[in-house]
Structure 1
Amino acid sequence: MRDQVAEHLSTPLEEYALLSDMGTGPLVSREGSIDWLCFPRFDSPSVFAALLGNPEDGRWKLSPVNGEVISRRYLPRTFILETTWRTATGTVVVTDFLPPGDTQSDLVRRVECVSGTVEVEHDLRIRFDYVRAKPWTRRVDLDGTDIRGLLSVAGPDALLLAGPLLHPYEEQQVEPQAGMEERHEASPEGHADDYQGAVSTRLTGQFPLSAGESADWVLTWHPSHDELPTPADPAAALEATTAFWVDWSSRVEVHDQHDQAVLRSLMVLRALTHGRTGGIVAAPTTSLPEEFGGSRNWDYRYTWLRDAALTIEALIAHDFTDGALHWRNWLLRAVAGDLDQVQIMYGIAGERQLPESELQHLGGYEGSKPVRIGNGAAGQYQADVIGEVMLALAALRDAGVPEGEYSWGLQKNLLRFCEQNLDRKGHGIWEMRGEAEYFVHGRVMMWAAFDQGVRAVEEQGLEGPAERWRGLRDRLREEIMDRGFNDELNSFTQTYSNTEVDASLLQLPHTGFVAYDDPKMLGTVARIETDLQEEHGLLHRYRTASGLDGLEGHEYPFLICTFWLVEQYAFSGRIEDATALLDQLTSYANDVGLYAEEYDPVSARLAGNFPQAFSHLGFIRAADAVTKAKLDLRSRLE
């Protein structure tokens, strides 16, 4: 079978939409194929992995026979995806969603025929454990209900599919449902109930619907050793899911398309937050390449302290302090213990061991190999991380949320960690896999950590060794200006040992270390524009040709870097440049408002893990900066 689909081309990332129950995040293509799904958590082994290979690696395609998509959208203020299909004989609407909940993981697919007659077909291929375990499938009847379903089991995992019955591809047959005709091609060797003892490689079925008729399928994950779950009631689940998302997003006012884009980005950040633990994943995917066909492919289904902290800042700026508190509690649990054990990233519940390995049997997105699970960067030291966390927690205090019993103690411990590692080289914000260096961005973030400690004592009356922190802060400033700024080039540099520039330097004003319009910063921006900005106006993180990252190949421009440039333009008086660049970047989101990590302007394609929290929080900050700069300018002119 694999040889027959070897020529399969990867679906462009912009064709995918995200679903979320704040536990996992499947991707469904415009053509109705769910090509990526991990149950029950974002970082669980996949059950559908066609995204990283081909259909034989697992998917669930639901679509009208000979149909075409005429529109798709999220229902307003939700992650409920509505796709409208048209055929020569009728029109159907497919609604895909995951009901949020703590006790069960369900994926609901509802089909409604709104005109004429339409035949809906399924192609379901369940592949547990990253395609390393094909399931045994059998028919089941749920005790005390009239629900018939298919139970697929492999090792510790089980999936129950409830709804009009699908059938093994090799053994299709006729078995009418009450009120609905099921049409199948008969197999000469098939039998109506012949699921027992068979390893199912593919389940299919075709279901005719007429105007006013509908059909629902619910796929429910559960541990294989547990009793069969009761699948979600589709109608009730749709109502509850709508209410959940609308209630959360109701505090954001939407007046125009720009506001709508900000709202969607805020909702993406919420969708990537695990509802039970508070851990925020960088993305729901792994190994989507930074260069098509390349090897820079990483697993982003974990919680980076930096990414989460920046996400929290964006949420606080829009009055979502509840999510910030949830994350602060996660942080207290994850970082608990010996200070020497502080990591840059953790599992969703605070797991510390994230061993990196390669799945050689998967072909990779656009042939990009290796496909990786786990992330070896968890063992790196990155000097900026504590500063990012301290800035986020300071923003939470500034928003009026008092410190909890342990949260200020945690921050003092983090500052002790900074002090203990004051002279330690690191691998930088971009997780270089070359030699450790003194990255200027990281050193400035250490300065910011101590600066926030001083602020907390002096401005908010918290207890701590402010004099010692002030001394360390001042020492770092002097060091950075002496070793991290090149007077001849009038620019901050990437590291103390080179004269390269790095897009992360655009974050220096955000910490308060230097003003946006300081001549030193403007000189740095000029060099970044010269060295890192490509012809379409997008920024690379750094020059990969320098060899500092220790990796082969190159990468496309990173969206968050260009969003940082928008912010810099806006706050340094270049409002027209900021507005034009933001408008350009806004056009790179797909039709349902999602950004990947990168964008290739040559092929006009999204690249890297998708959707990416970093990109969405960068968009929010950039949009906020342009809005504020325009308001400030208008106020000065009045």
Structure 2
Amino acid sequence: MTYKRIEDYGLIGNMHTAALVGNDGSIDWLCLPFFDSPAIFNSILDDDKGGRFSISAVDAVDNRQIYFPETNILITRFGSDHSAAQVTDFMPGHEEHDPAGDPWTGDSGDICCSDSKVIRLVHGVLGKTNMRMECTPAFEFAGTGHQVERTSNGVVFTSDAGQKLSLTANCEFDIENGSAFANFALDHGESIAFVLEQLESSSATPTSFTADEADEQFKETVEFWRDWVSKCTYQGRWREEVIRSLLALKLLTFSPTGAIIAAPTASLPEEIGGERNWDYRYCWIRDAALTIDAFMRMGYVDEARGFMRWLGSRTRESNGSSDSPLQIMYGIRGEHQLEEKTLDHLSGYRDSQPVRIGNGAYDQFQLDIYGELMESVYIYNRHGWPISYDMWMSLSGILDWVAGNWQRPDEGIWEVRGGRKHFVHSKLMAWNALAKGLKLADERSFPANRDLWISARDEIFHEIMDKGWNEEIQSFTQSYGSSVVDAALLQLLNIGALSPRDPRMISTLKRIEETLVRDSLVYRYDPEESLDGLSGTEGTFTMCTFWLAESYTRAGRLDDARFLFERMIGYASPLGLFAEETGPTGDMLGNFPQAFTHLALINSAFILNRALDQQQS
């Protein structure tokens, strides 16, 4: 089996679903019709039987991939000594958000279908290029069979469960063992368009485009993305990297509901051959709230409103639960149960098993989500759209709950599966939830249980200083009574709980540098310790490196911050994308692309650029 590196993929999508396209012209991951649907092409999880949709030049000796500037349109180029061709891959965009009304009380309704098309426009660039197309779907994560039949302008694949997938193009198709093939040649200037889509009914007519019609779709999609990029208010030093990160985050939004997924993939490993393989195609409260912070800083209010609409629905569903007002994560439509299963028939990326779909962490208790949530609401109210009374009453009920439940141990930001602890970061974020709630209440003169919130806020802070501090190692620790440090402790500085000149913060930062930093890359906790209840190790956590750059910035260490930030930028994929983690040789690990990483890049770039400007003024 031959697997591409994770960084050898680009992402296309339409805010309903997304596809990974390799630099060899192969779509190796696509779920239809939505992000959380079973994959139709998933050879990234099993190169032998996972299915793919490939278009490549037969005699190519070189291939490379770029994004069309300021878009999510991919161009894969193939070349030889005497010929060249390119494949332009895109999905026409979908936007359903309503810019009017109160997002907190909105309701997206049912989402039953999606007009998702993958358009692959193949164009001859030089000489005569012999091309080959292969389409081999593997429905239901390669868990069910299918049949294929010719149509007047292509083929239709029908799974044993009744799912239909059409592929059209102006060429001859061959059918063999459930796959469709096409061999064709393009002279300079000639083009052919392939259109892949799911048919919602047996009577639906497959879409077919001429090359000129596909080119019009291409131009409309370019205009869609460039119009969206034009709203970005960031004009700083790293605009190209920030724009690419924003475009990636936009592809991770589920437009019908406003939910934001953590990543579009499932079970890409955090260690090759290891068991840390998770399904990230869901909406984490923490990740989405922090993504909204990044969007808001860059001028994107509509995305924030979409998420607030989704969040409002989740809050109304909670009905004041005494266990926890909110789950840590939900499905993209707000599903509460995300049953985790293993797909034992798939070998996993580079034999990394188990392959998991669903996510068993959905019922974990993670106290920190309320701190990230209130941070985003505070920024949204100040810079986006003033929150409503109804929204505030829902939030104040949550803050009452935080004030009465912050003492409980939890699974923490890293979703450990080895039991609950009193994580310092979790307590810090409970403090932040109450601190931001009080600031918001004061700024808007909202009614609030101020005495309760102030008392709990101050009690949390005292306890962090007492039980979260290890006098022997002169550092805050991951959890009470521990001697292990955690990169999440950087948030003590980044959210303003401690001054960069506080002796405890200075010594904690030094301890993190000594313990967790390897050649400028940052582990989330000691890689020699198995702190999450699982065997094996993992790579450095890319988001944490950007967190450290932000901490250096806030501490006034601007030379260190810029060096670290720009060195981390150098670990991006050739297309400017990041996975969750970085391996020892610079290879990417974990699900890809990762919202956490890209939002941390945006926030770090924003804060560092502002500090550098102030230094020069």
Separation in structure 2 between the aligned mates of residue 226 and residue 41 of structure 1, nearest angstrom: 21
Q: Give yes or no for contact 2:530–2:537 (8 Å, CA) kept in 1.
A: no
Q: Is 1:339 aligned to 2:351, yes or no?
A: no
- CA distance in structure 1 between the aligned counterparts of 2:91 and 2:431, rounded to whole angstroms: 43
Q: Alpha-carbon deviation of 1:539? A: 1.1
Greater shift after overlay, 79-88 or 577-586? 79-88
Q: Tell me which of 248, 254, 262 is aligned to 1:282.
A: 262
Q: What does residue 181 of structure 1 align with?
A: none
Give 1:23 shift. 1.1
Q: Quick one: distance in 2 between partners of 1:629 and 1:45?
A: 45
1:41 aligns to 2:34 (yes or no): yes
Which of 20, 27, 30 does residue 23 from structure 2 map onto?
30
Distance, in Å, in 1 between the alignment partners of 2:443 and 2:414 is 33
Q: Is the 8 A contact 1:35 1:60 kept in 2?
A: yes
**Aligned residue among 549, 561, 565 for 1:578:** 561
Distance 1:87 1:220 in 2: 31
Partner of 1:215: 192
User: Which letter maps to 1:550?
Assistant: G
Q: Does 1:401 align with 2:382?
A: no
Report the equivalent of 1:183: none
Cα deviations by residue, 1:61-114 (Å, 9 ceiling, x for unpaired): 101111134542111110011122213442212100011136501000001112
Q: Deviations over 1:211-259 (max 9, x none)?
A: 2211000001133556335456523321221111111101236878721
* Number of residue pairs aligned between Structure 1 and Structure 2: 591
1:543 and 2:526 aligned: yes
Matched residues in 1 for 2:234 and 2:83: separation?
Answer: 34
Aligned to 2:79: 86
Q: CA–CA distance in 1 between the matches of 2:76 and 2:185?
A: 18
Contact map agreement 1:412 1:464 (CA 8 A) in 2: yes
Question: Aligned residue for 1:414?
Answer: 398
Compare CA radii of gyration and give the structure with the larger one.
1
1:616 is aligned, of 578, 598, 604, to: 598
> 1:377 matched to which residue of 2?
361
Q: Residue 503 of structure 2 corresponds to which residue in structure 1? A: 519
Is residue 517–residue 571 contact of structure 1 (8 Å, CA) maintained in 2? no
Alignment partner of 1:12 is 2:12: no
Question: Per-residue deviation at 1:511?
Answer: 2.5
Range 310-319 or range 411-420, more displaced:
411-420
TM-score between both structures, scaled by the size of structure 1? 0.90
Task: Answer yes or no: is the 8 Å Cα contact 2:470–2:482 preserved in 1.
Answer: no
Per-residue CA deviation, residues 450-478 of structure 1 (Å, 9 max, x unaligned), is 11111112122122212211111111111
* Distance of aligned partners of 1:509 and 1:225 in 2 relative to their CA distance in 1, 3 Å threshold: farther
Asked if 1:350 is matched to 2:355, the reply is no
In structure 2, relative to structure 1, the CA distance for the partners of 1:67 and 1:378 (3 Å cut) is same
- 1:580 is displaced (CA, Å) by 1.0
Contact 1:32 1:63 (C-alpha < 8 Å) held by counterparts? yes
Alignment of 1:309 with 2:289, yes or no, is: yes
SS at match of 1:53: coil
Q: 2:517 maps to what in 1?
A: 533
**SS in structure 2 of the partner of residue 370 of structure 1:** coil
Q: Which residue of 2 aligns with 1:249?
A: 229
Instruction: Give the match for residue 121 of structure 1.
Output: 132
Tell me the TM-score normalised to structure 2 length. Answer: 0.92
Q: Distance in 2 between matches of 1:515 and 1:134?
A: 60
Q: Distance in 1 between matches of 2:48 and 2:571?
A: 27
Deviations 1:104-133 (A, max 9, x none): 010000011122111110111111100012
2:157 aligned partner: 152
- 1:522 is displaced (CA, Å) by 1.2
One of 389, 392, 400 as aligned partner of 2:373: 389
- Letter matched to residue 540 of structure 2: P
Alpha-carbon contact 1:110-1:217 (below 8 Å) kept: yes
The 8 Å contact of residues 264 and 592 in structure 2, kept in 1 or not, is answered as: yes
Between the aligned partners of 1:413 and 1:157, the Cα distance in structure 2 is 44
- Indicate the residue corresponding to 2:547 in structure 1: 564
Q: CA 1:423/1:375 → structure 2, altered by over 3 Å: closer, same or farther?
A: same
What residue number does 1:632 align with?
A: 614
State whether residues 56 and 125 of structure 1, in contact with CA within 8 Å, keep that contact through their aligned partners in structure 2.
no
Q: Does 1:463 align with 2:416?
A: no
SS at match of 1:84: strand
What CA distance in whole angstroms lies between the structure 2 residues aligned with 1:418 and 1:247? Answer: 41
1:299 aligns with 2:283: no
The answer to whether the 8 A contact 1:73-1:592 is kept is yes
- Whether 2:580 is the aligned partner of 1:597: answer yes
Cα distance, 1:624–1:359 mapped onto 2, change above 3 Å: same
Match of 2:141 in 1: 130
Aligned to 2:483: 499
Structure 2 stretches of 5 or more lacking a match?
Answer: 96-113
What is the distance in 2 between the residues matched to 1:335 and 1:132?
36
Q: Deviations over 1:359-383 (max 9, x none)?
A: 0011111110000000001010011
Aligned mates of 1:528, 1:134 — CA distance in 2? 51
- 1:158 Cα deviation from its structure 2 partner: 1.2
In structure 1, runs of 5+ residues without a counterpart are 1-7, 142-147, 171-199
For 1:261, the equivalent position in structure 2 comes to 241
**1:448 positional shift:** 0.6
Match of 2:540, SS state, is coil
- Greater CA deviation, 402-411 or 59-68? 402-411
Does the CA-based 8 Å contact 1:65-1:87 persist in structure 2? Answer: no
Q: For residues 370 and 96 of structure 1, do their structure 2 counterparts lie closer, same or farther at Cα, with a shift above 3 Å needed?
A: same
Counterparts of 1:208 and 1:91, CA distance in 2: 11
CA–CA separation in structure 2 for the residues paired with 1:510 and 1:550: 28
Q: Secondary structure at the match of 2:510?
A: helix
Q: Which moved more, 1:253-262 or 1:431-440?
A: 253-262
- Relative distance call for 1:126 and 1:334 in structure 2 (3 A) is same
Show the counterpart of 1:368: 352
Residues 226 and 578 (structure 1), Cα distance of their counterparts in 2 relative to 1, 3 Å cut: farther
